[in-house]
Structure 1
Amino acid sequence: MTTSPLTAPPRSGGPRPARRPPWGLLRELDRPADVFRHLGPNWYASVMGTGITANAAATLPVHAPGLRTAATAVWALAAFLLTALSAAWAVHWTRHRAQARAHAHHPVAAYFWGAPAMALLTVGAGTLSLGQDWIGARPALVVDVVLWSAGTALGLVTAVWIPYRVMTGAGAAADAAFGGWLMPVVPPMVSAATGAALVPHVAPGQGRLTLLLGCYAMFGISLFASVVIITQVWARLVHHAIGPAAMVPTLWIVLGPLGQSVTAANLLGDVAPLALPHPYAGAARAFGFLYGVPTWGFAMMWLALAVSITLRTLRGGLPFSLTWWSFTFPVGTCVTGTGALAVHLGSTPLKDAAVALYAFLAAAWLTVGARTAAGSARGGLFRPAPAEPAR
């Protein structure tokens, strides 16, 4: 069985400095500079989870006093985290280039190369939907275009590069499939969902049509790749059991392409009449319902399975790690997908479901965020996680 996605090659040899005092910042590191040594792409999951918590609040089919202001503050936090983490990652690539390249060849960590792309896309979408309240509509649009373009380009690269690396490498063991396999192929779906908001800002004509068709094409890239991988994850769970406790949170990643695809299908259906002629425009909107409701049903079944397996694992001990951010972004996509369906269909039960899912998302974000902040302050999260034997 594969090890934790936080596992990294061991540190180089040589004398070790004296242990730092058991108090103060970064006390669990030998030296403060070690913050940058093992900074893998999986850290961008914290930006994804924070950003979706803000974005999902903006899409809720209900309105509460102060909710938008709070959501905008959370978006600002996500933007700050993206900036700070990108600066730290630049230092990581400058000072520890061999370690950075090792992440791309690691049998688990490599899949999380999809996280930076989704972090860019999530913050960009929040800039347009929330950030414009603070920075203005025009600057928000410019920022979103830049981040969406960068995130889309990087996401398309990871969607091909990571599977190619696996297919042409040593291959994966029969029990290796886990939710993290979805990380490099989900970014095009996030691009499709967030790109819908940019369609009205493109001048009518071939440019607008190209953007819309490109979003639908990326919808297909991610959808079919996700179906193949989810099937393998299901087969692994049935034939090889759950696996290490540290990997259990990654089961929640399956909700990501499901919820995001429902979101994308409905948002693209909304803007399709701006670029497509009759009858395709109407068919695109109908597709949001015909695809969205069955997929939403499967997502809720998987959510029940994920909750059950997680609770079972908790009884035996579920160590905290960055994989806990899997409890946030995937659930957030279910919030946005449920909310989109609720608005289109005028369904009160779906509105209630969107609110309930968001309540879970907010609680998960607060919990995981607090533990990440505490672990970062101590420095322990910046160390490579030890391998855990399969159960």
Structure 2
Amino acid sequence: MSVIRQFGPNWFTTVMGVGIVAVLTYTSPFPIPFGHGIGIVLFGLLNVIFGLAFLFWLFRWIFHTDEALNDFRHPARALFYGAFAMGINVVGNDYLLIGAHIFNSSVAIEVSKVIWVAGTVVSIFTVIVVPYLLFVEHQVEQHQTLATWLIPVVPPIVAAATGTNLIPFWGGATAQFAITALILAMFGTTFFLFIMISALVYSRLVYHKRLSGEAAPSLWVEIGPIGMSMATLSTLPIKTNAIFGQYANLLHALGMTFSMALWGIGIWWIIISAMHSILHLSKRGEGLPFHMGWWSYVFPIGSFTSGTYALVHLVNYPFYTIAGFAQFIILWICFVVVFIRTAIGVWKGNLLQWRASHMNQKRLLNGKTTA
């Protein structure tokens, strides 16, 4: 019960990270030794982590309702309902791209569709409710602006990118057109909110003191919606031939042009984010204390890599294949480091106090603080 009480929606960042590494390993456009096997193992791990996370989240609402409601009253914790939504969509996408090769393909596709619908509903909920609370309830200062503000507005574009893969499986042309219209609407919602929030983040970086070592990983969140935009725009021309046949060449040209342009700004954000992290690892910095925000080194890089993969499939240009391979290696390095640090943090009780010794130590610290 103590673990359930502590369990917030920020833990779904682990679902996002494991899920995107699994699918990128399995569907790599370049050969990876044992890639399919590793992808399947990670897919199995994803199901375990998501199942546990969902149960803990559900039990928290049942047994600690006040704690769960307090998440929405807190300007930082409320943001991570976006992670909950994105985690659902990542799981659904993995069932389509990995599960369909393991289980009965028809069943896996139907499971993916059901999960996608659930993820879309939660995505629309977060993109409306969390910003509204930020506007009318939460009290924040301009210097508190972080790229984590993107977390609740990114889910619709994740739903759009993952939903694009499902377009051919929605029956006739009418149903496929309706799904495509929804996907484009969600893409537009996140894309323009991303531009506005990024302007606020840029302003904060210019006019206020530099980001602390604790906040530095948050900058990597900026890369996520860029990658998902690339994935959506590059995949749409391939998946919508049945309904936009006469416009196929136009869609292909638009997808290629905008994705290539977005790839450039993505590289810029990667360089800026990396320089912030390197700064805090140097003598001039404060260090990079580990916390769950380190998963910002995983899913956003994975998102950008998935966008590059989609661009490879669209243009079939060797440059993007090489770039995708480089990004994949960086992603795996970050994933291994963050996953191990998270496992150690859980075992030691730094992230979740789950043993009696953890709770006793916490009580002693609280007693000393009170004294």
Output the TM-score relative to the length of structure 2: 0.92
What's 1:282 paired with? Answer: 249
In the alignment, which residue of structure 1 is the partner of 2:171?
203
Q: Which moves more between the two structures, 116-125 or 85-94?
A: 85-94
Whether the 8 Å CA contact 1:190–1:260 is kept in 2: the answer is: yes
Q: 2:318 aligns with which of 345, 348, 353?
A: 348
Greater mean deviation of Cα atoms: 92-101 or 315-324: 92-101
**What residue number does 1:304 align with?**
271
Please say if residues 25 and 36 of structure 2, whose CA atoms lie closer than 8 Å, have aligned partners that are also in contact: yes
On the 8 A contact 1:204/1:275 being kept in 2, the answer is: no
Distance in 2 (alpha carbons) for counterparts of 1:374 and 1:261: 34
Q: Contact conserved, 1:35 with 1:379, CA < 8 A, in 2?
A: no
Letter of the 1:293 partner, please give it.
M
Conserved? CA contact 2:238–2:314, under 8 Å: no
Q: Which moved more, 1:270-279 or 1:220-229?
A: 270-279
In the TM superposition, residue 95 of structure 1 has moved relative to its aligned partner by 2.2
What is the aligned counterpart of 1:360 among 327, 330, 342? Answer: 330
Q: Residue 261 of structure 1 aligns with which residue? A: 229
- What displacement does 1:170 show? 4.7
Matched, 1:91 2:59: yes
Equivalences, count = 353
Task: Render the CA deviation track for 1:33-53: whole Å, top value 9, x for unaligned.
Answer: 421222111100000000000
The aligned residue for residue 330 of structure 1 is 300
Q: Deviations over 1:88-109 (max 9, x none)?
A: 1122222221111111111211
What is the distance in 2 between the residues matched to 1:244 and 1:102? 26
Deviations 1:285-310 (A, max 9, x none): 22211110111100001100100100
How many angstroms apart in 2 are the aligned matches of 1:203 and 1:342?
27
Letter in 2 for 1:98: D
Paired with 1:283 and 1:59, the residues of 2 have a C-alpha distance of 27
Aligned with residue 342 of structure 2, among 372, 378, 387:
372
- Give the match for residue 50 of structure 2: 82
Query: Residues of 2 paired with 1:370 and 1:226: CA distance?
Result: 31
Q: Is the 8 A contact 1:212 1:275 kept in 2?
A: no
Cα pair 1:59 1:336 within 8 Å, conserved: no
Q: CA contact under 8 A between 1:179 and 1:251: conserved in structure 2? A: yes
1:216 is aligned to 2:184? yes
In structure 2, the residue matched to 1:294 is 261
Partner of 1:141: 109
Deviations 1:306-347 (A, max 9, x none): 001001112331111000000000000111111221232222
Name the residue aligned to 2:156: 188
Matched with 2:204 is 236
Residues 141-187 of structure 1: CA distance to partner in whole angstroms, max 9, x if unpaired?
Answer: 12111111111100001001111111112543111211110011111
Matched residues in 2 for 1:158 and 1:326: separation?
Answer: 19
What do the CA deviations read for 1:366-389 (whole angstroms, capped 9, x no partner)?
111111111112222026x99xxx
1-structure distance, mates of 2:211, 2:275: 15
Structure 2 letter corresponding to 1:313: H
Q: Which amino acid aligns with 2:352?
A: F
The CA deviation at 1:58 is: 3.2
CA contact (8 A) 2:75 2:139 kept: no
- Aligned to 1:320, the other structure's residue is in SS state coil
Q: Unpaired segments of 5 or more residues in structure 2? A: 354-361, 366-371
Provide the aligned C-alpha RMSD in A: 1.7
Tell me, what secondary structure is at the counterpart of 1:264? helix
More helix by share: 2
Q: Unpaired segments of 5 or more residues in structure 1?
A: 1-32, 387-391
Q: Is the 8 A contact 1:92 1:100 kept in 2?
A: yes
Compute the displacement of 1:361 (Å). 0.7
Distance (Å, rounded) in 1 between the aligned partners of 2:292 and 2:32:
31
Answer yes or no: is 1:248 the counterpart of 2:216: yes
Tell me the residue number matched to 1:382: 352
Give the one of 62, 71, 86 matched to 2:30. 62
1:246 aligned counterpart, secondary structure: coil
Q: In structure 2, the residue corresponding to 1:175 is in which secondary structure?
A: helix
Give me the whole-angstrom Cα distance separating, in 2, the residues matched to 1:320 and 1:288: 38
The correspondence for 1:102, drawn from 70, 74, 87, is 70
User: Residues of 2 paired with 1:37 and 1:127: CA distance?
Assistant: 30
Which residue type is aligned with residue 347 of structure 2? A
In structure 2, the residue matched to 1:12 is: none
Q: State whether structure 2 residue 309 is matched by structure 1 residue 339.
A: yes
TM, length-normalised to structure 1? 0.87
Within the candidate set 90, 94, 98, 1:126 is matched to: 94
Instruction: Give the letter for the 2:323 counterpart.
Output: A
Which amino acid letter does the alignment assign opposite residue 365 of structure 1?
A: F
Say whether 1:314 aligns with 2:284: no
Identity of aligned residues (%): 30
Deviation string for 1:205-229 (max 9, x for gaps)?
A: 2111101111111110110011101
Amino acid at match of 1:240: H
